[in-house]
Structure 1
Amino acid sequence: MMGFDYGRFGTVGGNALRRNVRRLNKALADALRPPPRMTVSEWAAEFRKFPEDAPIPGDWSHDTAPELVEIMDAMSPHDPCEEITVMKCAQSGGSASAENWLGFISDLAPGPVLFVQATFQAALDWAAEKFWPMVEATPKLNPERRGTIRAQGLANGDGSTSKKVLFSRSSGYILLAGANSAAGLRQRTVRYAVEDDLDQFPADLDGQGSPEGMIDERLKVWRSRGLSKRLKISTPTIEGSSKIAAAYEKSDRRHYYLRCPECTDRFLIDWGDVQWVDGDHEHAHVVAPCCGVQIEHWRKPEMKRPDGWLSDRIDGKPVPRVLTEDAFQAFRARMQPSRKRGFHLAGEISTFQSWGEMAVGFRDAQGDVSKLKTWTNLKRGIAFKVATDTPDYEQLMKLREQHWGVGQMPIGPLVVTLGGDVQGDGIYVEKVGHGPRKETWQLDARFLPGATDVPGEGAWKALDEYAQRGTAFPGGKVLPIDWECIDAGYHTPAAQAYCAKRPRRLAVFGRAGWGRPILGRGETIGYEQQGRRAGRAGSKAEDKAHIVGVSNVKLSWYGYLRTTMQAFAAVEESGVAEVTPVGRVHLSRDTPADWFEQATAETIEVRMVNGFPDRRWMVMPGRQNHYLDCRVYNLAAAEKLMLDTLTEMDWAALRADRYAPREDGLRDLFAPDLTQSQAPPAPQPSPMPPQPRHGYVEKREGWL
């Protein structure tokens, strides 16, 4: 067969044609050549880079966290696994594995990807803080180095956008979406899906079902061809209603075994293995369950191997906690490559937190159920079991102590807060004294009648007069309230006008949710919306507000009541002097009768929503919860003042200053009637001086 005659085009033309043909042949061969058979972990080791300002800059190294290798490999296209569940502690590297997978997809297995966060804003934040820095640091992805990701803001309009990341070598893309928007989850048929922070997804979306169900529909076509992949990743929340824990239970439930550096056996670490000496939590160590040897934290890296994962049941039988190396490998050989794999990245194995750090957190959470829940979720990476029993309000009446006059206090409290729950016909208020170890004294509780829709009038005027009377300390000083948290969810403008009138007042909005902090600053409520307005910032006053995470605060409050009742019962039964528990609650003989019933008016109920149990606080039939809300806002005020950060010296200085006799040297044997309007007003507080910690109890008369 005769070849093409390039010579008839002349020397210059013929050579140019030859070069073009060679390029065309190469391009055709490249197009037909299948991508290299790499795993996601191999791709990460070869290509993933971290920027110079990252905690661990430079190349990705499996030596840092070898437990992530098997998780990433399950995401590889040639692996039969189609759903990967990662239940993790905070800062475990699990999210970085998801980032590696997205980079791998853009390079070697392009296709449409749906990346879902709890809200669209959270997805945008992830892209700005995690994804684009990875793209910029990784040459394989960097568009300026002809990488696999298209740049943003191209002049021709053919680049990536804030919502959609485009791949440069294919029609693939990453679509960002929020789990609170049905429209964002219905837009595309996709091959891959990442559900990040799954436990923060709503249980139901616009009455159309769960976000997980909608994502499942987006994957249906690719899944029918055996080509889909799905990654679920989150820290868990409440046992029985955690979405990531439920997904993990439906998987093959893999746990990570450490290798003992002394006897070389493998063992599944448990929190009970972490021990410390004489309260020295900072230097906690592990006592190996295999040989009893004490292992210091610095040896953790040598205990971890890429092959450390085992399902909790193999061949229908539970896997022992301690195994010889041969037995461990035998179990590994019998473990089936399931289509649904679950990995538990427990805090005890994490590279990025020490056993000492976990022990300190455990110590600091004692006595506070909410903090213990947070520690369990974030530090250990397991779901927290909440007590569903409600304290008996009739039994609480036994806690009433001596009388202390209105506007005064007993010996003990050092800081005073006020919480207000606004109703249409008045405002419920509770004034609370605080001391060390979260000990509280109920100083006063009452209902201030009057209209609440007009700023500065009705109940608002009465509340302002009440708050300005101050509180008489045992030494005779009358000091103003340290901080007020007032419910602004009902008549928002009137509540905000009241708080703007004087310092140390804060308009707050109570919101349910097990993942919320006690007090969040300036959270945009508009992003909780669903439907057409989902993800858009609103213009209403409450759209940028201080949010009180009521679910966890109520958990703490009920915990304080239970431990107080237990301490009281111990003294009543044995006569032994009680050890004051953390969060001890003191109640006066003057506490209103309806306070006890209202302060315990809610209970945790379990409701099935789209097939998932949902645990939430519900008001019991026939009860009102106004004083419970008041106590919640008082605890939020304590959080605002950062009382849990005060040292023993700080508390001692406060006591010396606030319990000191009045400057005139006299102390009234009979307390002044502070309830009368003609009582002299408390001195106006001076502006709070600049301080490094916002919200800290302000300095008064040189107490520090």
Structure 2
Amino acid sequence: MTFHYGRFGDAAGAALRKNAVALNKAFAEGLQPPPRLTLSEWAPQWRWFPDDAPIPGRWRNETAPELVEIMDAMSIHDPCEAVSLMKCAQSGGSAVAENFLGYISDLAPNATLVVHPTFQAATAWNAEKLWPMIEATPRLSPDRGGTIRARGLADGSGSTTEKILFARSGGYILLAGANSSAGLRQRTVRFAIEDDLDDFPDDLEKQGSPEGMVDARLRVWASRGLAKRLKISTPRIKGASKIGRAYREGDPRRFYLQCPHCRSRFVPEWADLQWPDGEPELAHLVTPCCETPTEHWQKQEMKLPDGWLSLKIDGADVPRVLTEEAFQGWRARMRPSRKIGFHLPGIISTFLSWSEMASAFLAAQGDVNALKTWTNLIKGEEFELRNDAPDYEALMALREQDWGRGQMPIGPVVTTLGVDVQGDGLYLELVGWGPNKESWQLDARFLPGATDVAGQGAWADLDAYSKRGVTFPGGKTFPIDQECVDAGYHTEAAQAYCAKRARRLAVFGRAGWGLPVLGRGVAVRYEAQGHRAGAASRSADDKAHIVGVNGVKLSWYGYLRATLAAVNAAVSEGGDIKVPVGRVHLSRDTPEDWFEMAVAETITVKMVKGFPDRRWTVMPGRENHYLDCRVYNIAATEKLMLDTLGEADWSAHRAERYAAKDARQGDLLSGVGAAQVAAAAAPQPEPKKASPQSGYIERKDNYL
């Protein structure tokens, strides 16, 4: 039937007709499905970077072609349900996550969960990455009628710090921390992003892993094949890496470069990079297909969007080097997968040069913890731990006979003190330091006495010991440059001791493969009463700086191994000792129990909720107090930032401290001027020799 608008009059009929047309159009638009765009098609069309970004303006797939297929797998209509991206740092993984959030807010708005290791990390990402993207992208910006609802609306209906609302369909982005179960419960979501996955705890509040909680939130949508999940992280320890496990669970893929010379395809490996000795800035890649040197500026043209291939196809291993024809043949045989893993190492990253990789690699040599960091963040691969501790009896060969405990040999320039707190006393180790992380053990002893009352017992003895300072060759006495004192036991007493002098720092050792050597101040938990007095609790207001003990112990064991190897080589070959990074010197009076304690821990594997957890554990029948002292000493060098001192700085400080007693005294970090550096005649230690007749003996003639 035809509706007669004219019976309502000319004016009213025309208005009704106009309204009906508008209603019909709106109804049709509501029924129309969203455009069938892939994420890699949506991003260059709509995503913008703010003007202050490193690469401002519109998103361009050409900048990082290796990200195209990763984004395509996250597209709504792609059968893939879970993408795991194992990557190096600063490789574009987070940008993929940001694109995905903008994409779903536009084309498929629904409940979305974004999980970071902590809620603080999530809110920082929200402020520093997500909202700048939203405000720079007209398609998303609430100020330009975009798909995201504005913040701070007067009626309370806008986006908040924790929850970013979509402008239509009731969808939202919920931020959560993997360290709190409250944000991971009681919500059903369709989409989930887990960023920095390897920093997630293995067991959250004894309720299982955060990954398992995210599984539960996605279950309803996943049962209908409509869920999407993105896991992103740099890897940590091989065998315990969460992103490494997720990468291998489904369909793991590698990225093939195209050789600019013979047009073959190949997976680049670290061994393919070469450079002249001492010139990492000239690093180049020798292609494994035709063995032709290739410069870094050619890397961009070697990356094509179709570069990804599975490790296995139809049960067969895919070769690392392929002709273009063979490569396309393997690509044609790849099948869609519900779970896909992508590995994005530094060697193919758009934002990391080969010379940067080589320079960082050389800088990490000699320090196992630094090498681990390089492997994880720059190389983008899992680090394989060595779980063998150095033989403590072999360490006794490192005792040098020409100086004893309490003496200052030629060499140290900086001094630190590490203190481990026990109920019946304090273990301490006084260490001198020189360039290249070389160390001299100046003293190691146990101060008996009560430690539960501030300023009394062993604390009074430690305070007197500390106030003596250290006398350098030439007679000048300086205070200990930095002390690090264990505050994880009898916290109040340790805090009171550290509050007396500016060079003292309360520290708290904490396990964790991703923690820094010395981190920010955090609340230290302890019990004030009961059978656990002095042990961890949740009620302390005191602050202590965390020490990432896992990595420091890796470095310490590496220094010991390198020193033993250098000394043994000098003794067997009869030549000079080649000084390694972190060379360790021990005096003839090093306490016998120091050797067992200094290497009392080993890396063991413990299954936690069905997953392997690699951790440091004390060997049966051993104590680890002097190991803890050395860990705190290494943390003290981090506080002093000794790694930032150059040759001129060390020479100037050495001249100042080794000068005659009547010379003007100063402070290590007071900043010696260039004129003083030039005028100072810095005494240098005599060449160090090894005597094959009687083991390892350093001879320093004219010591005084």
- Taking the aligned partners of 1:313 and 1:686, their CA distance within structure 2 comes to 62
Q: CA deviation at 1:475?
A: 2.1
Alignment of 1:49-88 (within 5 A): 49-88=48-87
- Taking the aligned partners of 2:672 and 2:177, their CA distance within structure 1 comes to 38
Q: Deviations over 1:188-238 (max 9, x none)?
A: 111111111110111111222111111111111111111111111100000
Match of residue 471 from structure 2: 472
Equivalent AA in structure 2 for residue 248 of structure 1 = Y
Structure 2 length-normalised TM:
0.91
SS at match of 2:225: coil
- Taking the aligned partners of 2:586 and 2:514, their CA distance within structure 1 comes to 30
Match of residue 164 from structure 1: 163
Alignment of 1:493-508 (within 5 A): 493-508=492-507
Alignment of 1:90-169 (within 5 A): 90-169=89-168
Q: CA deviation at 1:259?
A: 1.0
Q: CA deviation at 1:689?
A: 5.3
Q: CA deviation at 1:702?
A: 8.2
SS at match of 1:587: strand
Q: Which deviates more from structure 2 when the two are superposed, residues 493-502 or residues 162-171?
A: 493-502
Q: CA, structure 1 residues 217+471, in 2 after alignment: closer, same or farther (shift >3 Å)?
A: same
Match of residue 641 from structure 2: 642
Q: Deviations over 1:276-331 (max 9, x none)?
A: 11311122111111122211111111111111101111222211111111111111
Q: Which deviates more from structure 2 when the two are superposed, residues 107-116 or residues 69-78?
A: 107-116
Equivalent AA in structure 2 for residue 423 of structure 1 = Q
Q: CA, structure 1 residues 690+506, in 2 after alignment: closer, same or farther (shift >3 Å)?
A: farther
Alignment of 1:254-403 (within 5 A): 254-402=253-401
Alignment of 1:425-574 (within 5 A): 425-522=424-521, 540-542=540-542, 544-574=543-573
Match of residue 222 from structure 2: 223
Match of residue 201 from structure 1: 200
Structure 1 stretches of 4+ moved >6 Å: 685-688, 701-704
Q: CA, structure 1 residues 403+70, in 2 after alignment: closer, same or farther (shift >3 Å)?
A: same
Q: CA deviation at 1:171?
A: 1.4
Match of residue 235 from structure 1: 234
Q: CA deviation at 1:541?
A: 3.3
Is there any run of 5+ residues in structure 2 with no aligned partner, and where?
526-537, 683-704
Q: Deviations over 1:619-669 (max 9, x none)?
A: 12222111111100100111111112222222222222222222279xxxx
Q: Deviations over 1:520-570 (max 9, x none)?
A: 1335779xxxxxxxxxxx98434x542111110001001111111122222
Q: CA deviation at 1:464?
A: 1.4
Q: Which deviates more from structure 2 when the two are superposed, residues 324-333 or residues 356-365?
A: 324-333
Equivalent AA in structure 2 for residue 386 of structure 1 = L
Answer whether contact 1:407 1:470 (CA < 8 A) is retained: no
Equivalent AA in structure 2 for residue 541 of structure 1 = D
Q: CA, structure 1 residues 123+703, in 2 after alignment: closer, same or farther (shift >3 Å)?
A: farther
- Taking the aligned partners of 1:128 and 1:484, their CA distance within structure 2 comes to 37
Equivalent AA in structure 2 for residue 557 of structure 1 = W
SS at match of 1:582: coil
Q: Which deviates more from structure 2 when the two are superposed, residues 372-381 or residues 575-584?
A: 575-584
Q: CA, structure 1 residues 664+204, in 2 after alignment: closer, same or farther (shift >3 Å)?
A: closer
Match of residue 213 from structure 1: 212
Match of residue 176 from structure 1: 175
Q: CA deviation at 1:154?
A: 1.3
- Taking the aligned partners of 2:576 and 2:293, their CA distance within structure 1 comes to 38
Equivalent AA in structure 2 for residue 589 of structure 1 = R
Q: CA, structure 1 residues 636+312, in 2 after alignment: closer, same or farther (shift >3 Å)?
A: same
Q: Deviations over 1:666-688 (max 9, x none)?
A: xxxxxxxxxxxxxxxxx8x7796
Alignment of 1:605-684 (within 5 A): 605-663=604-662
- Taking the aligned partners of 1:85 and 1:216, their CA distance within structure 2 comes to 14
- Taking the aligned partners of 1:380 and 1:664, their CA distance within structure 2 comes to 49
Q: CA, structure 1 residues 329+523, in 2 after alignment: closer, same or farther (shift >3 Å)?
A: farther
- Taking the aligned partners of 2:522 and 2:320, their CA distance within structure 1 comes to 44
Answer whether contact 2:487 2:524 (CA < 8 A) is retained: no
Q: CA deviation at 1:503?
A: 2.1
- Taking the aligned partners of 1:511 and 1:453, their CA distance within structure 2 comes to 22
Answer whether contact 1:407 1:471 (CA < 8 A) is retained: no
Match of residue 422 from structure 2: 423
Q: Which deviates more from structure 2 when the two are superposed, residues 492-501 or residues 31-40?
A: 492-501
Percentage identity across paired residues of the two chains: 67
Equivalent AA in structure 1 for residue 651 of structure 2 = A
- Taking the aligned partners of 1:5 and 1:128, their CA distance within structure 2 comes to 56
- Taking the aligned partners of 1:691 and 1:305, their CA distance within structure 2 comes to 53
Equivalent AA in structure 2 for residue 578 of structure 1 = I
Match of residue 687 from structure 2: none
Match of residue 529 from structure 1: none
Q: CA deviation at 1:438?
A: 0.9
Equivalent AA in structure 1 for residue 307 of structure 2 = G
Q: CA, structure 1 residues 96+524, in 2 after alignment: closer, same or farther (shift >3 Å)?
A: farther
- Taking the aligned partners of 1:521 and 1:359, their CA distance within structure 2 comes to 30
- Taking the aligned partners of 1:691 and 1:48, their CA distance within structure 2 comes to 51
Answer whether contact 1:408 1:471 (CA < 8 A) is retained: no
Answer whether contact 2:310 2:318 (CA < 8 A) is retained: yes
SS at match of 1:67: helix
Q: CA deviation at 1:169?
A: 1.2
CA RMSD across the alignment:
2.2
1:579 aligns with 2:578: yes
Q: CA, structure 1 residues 11+523, in 2 after alignment: closer, same or farther (shift >3 Å)?
A: farther
Equivalent AA in structure 2 for residue 384 of structure 1 = F
Count of residues in correspondence between the two structures: 667
Q: Deviations over 1:246-288 (max 9, x none)?
A: 1111121111111111221111101011111131112211111
- Taking the aligned partners of 2:640 and 2:668, their CA distance within structure 1 comes to 15
- Taking the aligned partners of 1:635 and 1:596, their CA distance within structure 2 comes to 17
- Taking the aligned partners of 1:703 and 1:388, their CA distance within structure 2 comes to 45
- Taking the aligned partners of 1:430 and 1:420, their CA distance within structure 2 comes to 7
Q: Which deviates more from structure 2 when the two are superposed, residues 391-400 or residues 379-388?
A: 391-400
Equivalent AA in structure 2 for residue 338 of structure 1 = S
Q: CA deviation at 1:179?
A: 1.1
Match of residue 670 from structure 1: none
Answer whether contact 2:655 2:680 (CA < 8 A) is retained: no
Q: CA deviation at 1:12?
A: 3.0
Q: Deviations over 1:97-142 (max 9, x none)?
A: 0110011111101221111111111111111111111111111111
Answer whether contact 1:365 1:371 (CA < 8 A) is retained: yes
SS at match of 2:629: helix
Answer whether contact 2:523 2:540 (CA < 8 A) is retained: no
Match of residue 679 from structure 1: none
SS at match of 2:587: coil
Q: CA deviation at 1:47?
A: 0.5
Answer whether contact 1:657 1:703 (CA < 8 A) is retained: no
1:43 aligns with 2:23: no
Equivalent AA in structure 2 for residue 605 of structure 1 = T
Structure 1 length-normalised TM:
0.91
Q: CA deviation at 1:703?
A: 9.8
Match of residue 686 from structure 2: none
Q: CA, structure 1 residues 415+579, in 2 after alignment: closer, same or farther (shift >3 Å)?
A: same
- Taking the aligned partners of 1:149 and 1:628, their CA distance within structure 2 comes to 53
Answer whether contact 2:361 2:374 (CA < 8 A) is retained: yes
Match of residue 671 from structure 1: none
Q: Which deviates more from structure 2 when the two are superposed, residues 349-358 or residues 422-431?
A: 422-431
Answer whether contact 1:517 1:549 (CA < 8 A) is retained: yes
SS at match of 2:65: coil
Q: CA, structure 1 residues 250+360, in 2 after alignment: closer, same or farther (shift >3 Å)?
A: same
